[in-house]
Amino acid sequence: MRLRKGFLMFLVLVLSISALVACSSKNEAEKPSNSPEAQTSSPTASTKPKEPVTITIAWPWGEPEYEVRFGAIREELKDSITVKMVLAPGTKDTLQELFAAKTVPDIIFANYGLQPLEELDTLMSIEDLMKKHNFSGSQINPHTLAYVRSIDTKGRLVGLPDGEGFPQLFYNKEVFDLFGVPYPDPKKPMTWDEVLDLSQRMTATRDGKTYIGLEIPSTMLYTPLNEFPANATDPDTGELRLTKDPAFTKEFEFVKKYFSIPGVKEAYGKEKFMERTAAMAFAWNAFMKNDWQENESFKKSIEILPVPVWPEQPDLSPVSGTTAITINKYSAHQDEAFTVLAKYYSPENQIRMIRPAHAFPAVSDMEIVKQWAADVPGYQGKNMDAIFNVKRPSFQPRKSPWDAYVGMPQAIDRFIESDMDIVKFLRQWEEEAAGDVKDAMEKYKQ
């Protein structure tokens, strides 16, 4: 709390100085033309072109990527707005260092979530700016807008969504051929039980090599859970919901079944898919964008599948995350900052970004969406409908900020190594996490 108060005092000082400078400029402009000061000023001062307003973007991912996203926007607006980048991940410490150096970014990419920005009190609703600039938001994918709204503790729309990142299911035709297993239906998603059954058929030894049917990185073990989605804690009270929401029981049942397949636990975390000894694997949607060097030819053997689904909701894919692009509430040029942000979502700019797969499109126009990765050789001729033809929730419950304190990754790891009953494990986990959540809530109130 002291940090927040100190930060606010600093911003008040900066804005006060700006106001004094503005008043001084106004007084100069209001002096009569026959005053001594006016007579000594340049006769062409009144016709001098207005200097462009500078909009500073706190950008986290390096200059080459920034140029792809904002280079053309900078050129288009250069007569009225100077668009400038400062390399700054959206962590609390990094942003505080910027503010201490008297750099107040106008636009902030919240790639570490909204909590650092909330603690620094830079967040504000952007809906008034959207109305003022006749930006309805209808061109943006509704589920990404819903996601940004859901991660704000007050349910506000505090930013607009960047491109998405989401798990995708890939398979290696060579391994299917080796085991004599038909390729899965490219159009119809398997259920989670079906993908585990298929995995078990190809987890075995062939020609002295050990194969597994399905590889799931640790960061994607939550994919089945994310199809609901579910909060581990109540966002208002912090009450633990691990034993109350059946989604967590279903998630842990899936994890137990997956690691019960002989050989899976031994292969966990060893990148068997890239060694060509895994039949299927979950990876990020841009998995095949980069140069794989000596494995580049491997891409020819890979195909894309729809993400598996729960049978009770067969058309619903997992919630996909996004980075919120926010406008700093202490920006002195919020209108110009929104002008820059609105340009980000123009069809021309989205196409520049998505054809080389620098970002997944944030817009809803399928004519634009389907141009994603069009210039990336690894995706040519692949089953791209498995990526494009998905349905994601357009409404999402407000995400609980207290979920960060339940220790989900550590709990999953403990569960994998244990033989504990799921109900007993979830009950014990709740009891352990309750204290950490309570401490976090008390600290936040201070």
Distance CA 357, CA 163 (A): 10
Assess whether pLDDT exceeds 90 at residue 252: yes
pTM of the model: 0.86
> Band of the pLDDT at 366, cuts 50, 70, 90?
very high
Task: Kindly report, as residue ranges, where domains of CATH 3.40.190.10 are found in the chain.
Answer: 53-163+323-374, 167-318+400-445
- Tens digits of per-residue pLDDT, 156-166? 999 999 989 99
- pLDDT, mean of residues 25-46: 39
**pLDDT mean across residues, the chain:** 90
pLDDT at 24: 40
Residue ranges of alpha helices (H) inside 261-311 are: 264-267
On the 0-12 / 13-18 / 19+ scale of CB atoms within 10 A, 417 is: exposed
Q: Is the dihedral of CA 281, 162, 390, 147 positive or negative?
A: positive
Distance CA 183, CA 56 (A): 50
pLDDT at 35: 38
Distance CA 397, CA 152 (A): 11
Q: Is the dihedral of CA 33, 35, 40, 46 positive or negative?
A: negative
- Tens digits of per-residue pLDDT, 184-210? 999 999 999 999 999 999 999 999 999
Distance CA 364, CA 138 (A): 8
Assess whether pLDDT exceeds 90 at residue 446: no
Q: How far, CA to CA in Å, does 423 sit from each of 125, 240, 243, 255? A: 41, 14, 7, 14
> Band of the pLDDT at 312, cuts 50, 70, 90?
very high
pLDDT at 49: 65
Token reading at 333 = 């040029």
Distance CA 440, CA 446 (A): 10
Beta-carbon contacts of 135 under 8 Å, excluding residues fewer than 6 positions away, are: 129, 338, 342
Largest CA distance in the chain: 98
Distance CA 198, CA 31 (A): 83
Beta-carbon contacts of 58 under 8 Å, excluding residues fewer than 6 positions away, are: 86, 88, 90, 95, 98, 105, 107, 108, 109
Task: With CA atoms as reference, report the closest residue to 167 among 317, 274, 370.
Answer: 317
Assess whether pLDDT exceeds 60 at residue 338: yes
Distance CA 130, CA 137 (A): 8
Give percent above pLDDT 70 in the chain.
Answer: 89
pLDDT at 218: 95
Task: Give 62-104 as a DSSP string.
Answer: -HHHHHHHHHHHHHHHTTTEEEEEEE--S-HHHHHHHHHTT--
Fold of 167-318+400-445: D-Maltodextrin-Binding Protein; domain 2 (3.40.190)
Assess whether pLDDT exceeds 90 at residue 100: yes
pLDDT at 13: 42
Least confident of 103-117, 124-138, 294-308, 432-446: 432-446
Q: Give the strand pairing for 278-284 and 53-59.
A: unpaired
pLDDT at 21: 37
- pLDDT, mean of residues 168-189: 97
Asked if 72 and 348 count as a contact pair (C-beta separation under 8 A), the reply is yes
- pLDDT, mean of residues 263-267: 95
Q: How many CA atoms lie within 13 A of 444 on its CB side?
A: 17
Give percent above pLDDT 90 in the chain.
Answer: 84
Asked if 408 and 222 count as a contact pair (C-beta separation under 8 A), the reply is yes
CATH (residue range 53-163+323-374): 3.40.190.10
Place of tokens 């244990």: 418
pLDDT at 48: 60
pLDDT at 444: 82
CA angle, 192 then 194 then 198, to 5°: 120
Assess whether pLDDT exceeds 50 at residue 42: no
pLDDT at 128: 98
pLDDT at 34: 37
